[in-house]
Amino acid sequence: MPQYSTTLLHTTYSFNDLKELLAKASSLRSGDVLAGVAAHSERERVAAQKALADVPLKRFLQDQLVPYEDDEVTRLIVDSHDADAFAPIASLTVAEFRDWLLRYETTEDILTAVSRGITPEMAAAVSKLMRNQDLILVASKCRVVTRFRNTLGLPGRLAIRLQPNHPTDSPAGIGASIMDGLLYGCGDAVIGINPVSDSLDSFRRLTDSLAELIDRYRIPTQACILAHVTTQLAAMEVRAPVDLVFQSIAGTEQANQSFGVSLSILDEAHRAAQELGRGTVGTNVMYFETGQGSCLSANAHHGCDQQTLEARAYAVARRFEPLLVNTVVGFIGPEYLYDGKQIIRAGLEDHFCGKLLGLPMGCDVCYTNHAEADQDDMDNLLTLLGAAGCNYFMGVPGADDIMLNYQSTSFHDSQYLRQLFGLRPAPEFEKWLGVMGITDSSNRLSSSAPQHPQLKLMLEQAAIR
């Protein structure tokens, strides 16, 4: 017998279980249609949302979407749930939870206190009842601060990942992109390179070069080479100067296996990075990337909708108290998020769910060239997420990643957003920009920066070795 039903316009709609209810209540996206779990009509979607509104939050602790005995992510969610943190909201339904989140009285401190009591499924469920403005408002009240060589996520601050990818890992090409990004005040989140080769030798060369650059010019930031976690582990075994450990993660054990990772491997990498002790102001050493549709693309979705599974990936990230979490929202393609409207909604949902769960969320505001989206859509999402208090965005030369072949946000976009909302770089990085003459006394980019003696030397030695 169906567990959930509701009547809408004299028609009764029934849903067999919580998994089906969540999927049918989701906003339309191509990935759920591809998986065969989406609502068949807007009426059915509204009916599912109406039924979901009355579900008690406690139900999500009783009914597991992916069986506990079959999935280590489910076991992590259940076993790490904080009952004391959950207590203030334990009596609420999903609709009442939405209202509670939107109340004036529900402040940043209160949201921080309850975050460990919120499961990913609860966060996903309430997001399905929220308009875009609701997602923005609640996320803007969530503050998550992390530290390694600088402090990220503080009020009034916006960080940028400097992403100097190159199709041949050319030292000159990467070096030129790094200098370009630094001159725009980017790089405080991380200088992160997606390498062409996952070999240990290539990883060591890039890691050693970035470490030398950061040390030589005392740049208060961190480096990351986004190779597979096992490559990073091998490098750390020989004491390579690894700052942050990167890995793509997903919301089911089977999907993570398709990435070649497990919780135990991530545990090992986390310990190894902690032991290196390369942070100066903090010990958050992990960098995770996620994206709606990854479970479906690995045929590891267990009949769940992609947004709920994305939220479950945040439980994996939360375990390791990362410095950075990044939803690469439009990267996986139009099979999963078809157009600009779906990408924008997904980006707002991801940021909201991650922040609600206590994660330092950033977003790669991006799309692939075969999606029904353009840079105006990305401007819209960038602005909305800026209003929502997103911790950081990408900085890619010209917004065009010539190695990964997708469209993202540029170094110039960071200046737009910082000016629009009166935001500044991470405090340690901001001070360095002033010392190097990149910014003036008003924290504006300085037109005379290339004439500054230290910066001039830096530009002359731009190519990483």
For residue 124 the two structure tokens come to 């996903």
Tell me the pLDDT band of 2, cut-offs 50, 70 and 90: confident
CA angle 445, 447, 453 (to 5 degrees): 100
Q: What is the percentage of the chain residues whose pLDDT exceeds 70?
A: 96
For residue 374 the two structure tokens come to 């353009």
pLDDT at 456: 65
Handedness of CA 114, 116, 122, 128 (dihedral sign): positive
Cβ neighbours for 247, distance < 8 A, ≥ 6 positions apart: 228, 229, 259, 261, 266, 269, 286, 287, 288, 289
Tens-digit pLDDT profile for residues 69-78: 999 999 999 9
pLDDT at 443: 86
Cα torsion through 164, 165, 166, 169, rounded to 10? 100
Would the pLDDT of 103 be above 90?
A: yes
DSSP label of 93: B
112: exposed, middle or buried (C-beta count within 10 Å: 0-12, 13-18, 19+)?
Answer: middle
Q: d(Cα 50, Cα 255) in Å, to the nearest integer?
A: 31
Higher pLDDT, 317 or 459: 317
pLDDT at 465: 53
Would the pLDDT of 452 be above 80?
A: no
Tell me the pLDDT band of 448, cut-offs 50, 70 and 90: confident
Average the pLDDT over 449-453 and give the result: 66
Tens-digit pLDDT profile for residues 142-178: 999 999 999 999 999 999 999 999 999 999 999 999 9
pLDDT at 1: 62
Q: d(Cα 424, Cα 408) in Å, to the nearest integer?
A: 21
Instruction: Report which of 170, 226, 237 is spatially closest to residue 203, judged by C-alpha positions.
Output: 226
pLDDT at 459: 67
DSSP label of 4: E
Handedness of CA 130, 131, 135, 138 (dihedral sign): negative
Tens-digit pLDDT profile for residues 39-80: 999 999 999 999 999 999 999 999 999 999 999 999 999 999
* DSSP-assigned states of every residue in 148-185: SSSEES-TTB-EEEE----TT--HHHHHHHHHHHHHTT
* DSSP-assigned states of every residue in 300-348: --TT--HHHHHHHHHHHHHHT--SEEEEETTTT-TTTS-BHHHHHHHHH
Which H/E stretch holds residue 212?
helix 200-216
* DSSP-assigned states of every residue in 109-130: HHHHHHGGG--HHHHHHHHTT-
Query: What is the pTM for the complete model shown?
Result: 0.96
Q: d(Cα 108, Cα 113) in Å, to the nearest integer?
A: 9
Would the pLDDT of 463 be above 80?
A: no
Would the pLDDT of 288 be above 90?
A: yes
Tens-digit pLDDT profile for residues 304-325: 999 999 999 999 999 999 999 9
Q: d(Cα 4, Cα 2) in Å, to the nearest integer?
A: 6
pLDDT at 462: 59
Say if CB 402 and CB 165 are below 8 A apart: yes
